[in-house]
Amino acid sequence: MSYKLLDGKDLAARMKKAMASEVETLTAEGIVPGLAVVIVGNDPASRIYVNSKKKDCAEVGIKSFEYALPEETSEEELLGLIDALNQDSAIDGILVQLPLPEHLDEAKVIRRINSEKDVDAFHPFNVGELMIGRPVFAPCTPAGVMELLNDAGINVAGKNCVVIGRSNIVGKPMAMLMLHDNATVTICHSKTRDLKAVCKEADILIAAIGKADYITADYVKEGAVVVDVGMNRNAEGKVTGDVDFPAVSKKASAITPVPGGVGPMTRAMLLKNTIKACNMHKKQSLS
């Protein structure tokens, strides 16, 4: 069957164009949205992500502030920096690039970020607001997936949606967003019995497991929508997702590519959350 390609690169470009226009209006009023990105250590993947985020900010007119700290930075020093950024009125969003070096407590660091500047939506307050259906900020990757589906006219209401993966960053919030849009949701993980059989029941299948090409055609029912959140390198060193695209695309009605699917949407949603935070802070300062 022929499939619809869920092109995140194209949608992210359209969103960025609209956001650039919004930021231009804010800037004309003397308000410049600001995003602080904190990176600790020299993880090469983290450095690539941070550079991409800086480029995205420049594209839409958001001012980015980078804080690159050495690997041996103490928890006290990192928390002190976050406290200063929480107080800085030029900063609307704070993003601490994960993973952090092992000697730093990620949960403690995330809790220290002011929930109104938590544009990654990892703070327990924002997680709780998402759970009860009124998110201040939605986590960037799951929110990006929902934008992709909505843009393609794929309504999740009443659909059987299967999410493979139960991480706090993707799997759990993905399930919540779909549930709030009236999907029937199953979350699968390493202890799920007969994963293949569960996946074959899915109208919408979302793979977020971090295993290259793990989801083959026999996990997918004819005409399913398949969203691949994975970003891996296969044995040949080629970037690939969790889904065997050539095989699965023959059965899917719609599918995301890797790269160029969910990744650009994650970054676009970070910009959207930063602009939202800026508008919130602007209203507070006016009231």
In which residue ranges of the chain is CATH 3.40.50.10860 found? 31-114
In which residue ranges of the chain is CATH 3.40.50.720 found? 140-263
| Residue 14, CA distances (Å) to 23, 51, 148 in order | 14, 21, 12
Closest CA to 275 of 83, 47, 18: 18
* Active-site pick, 16, 53, 117, 159: 53
The answer to whether residue 1 scores a pLDDT higher than 70 is: no
Is residue 49 within a helix (H) or strand (E), and if so which, with residue range?
Answer: helix 44-60
For the question of residue 87 being annotated catalytic, the response is no
Rounded distance between C-alpha atoms, residue 125 and residue 135, angstroms: 10
For the question of residue 53 being annotated catalytic, the response is yes
Rounded distance between C-alpha atoms, residue 45 and residue 148, angstroms: 25
C-beta neighbour count of 20 within 10 angstroms: 14
For the question of residue 181 being annotated catalytic, the response is no
Q: Which residue has the tokens 């993973």?
A: 99
| Residue 212, CA distances (Å) to 31, 95, 132, 166, 270 in order | 43, 27, 34, 17, 25
The answer to whether residue 93 scores a pLDDT higher than 80 is: yes
CATH number for the domain running over 31-114: 3.40.50.10860
C-beta neighbour count of 117 within 10 angstroms: 26
* Active-site pick, 56, 120, 228, 244: 120
Q: What is the pTM of this model?
A: 0.95
Which pLDDT score, from 0 to 100, does residue 283 have?
Answer: 73
* Active-site pick, 7, 97, 118, 244: 97
The answer to whether residue 75 scores a pLDDT higher than 70 is: yes
For domain 140-263, give its CATH number from 3.40.50.720, 3.30.70.120, 3.40.50.2300, 3.40.50.1110.
3.40.50.720
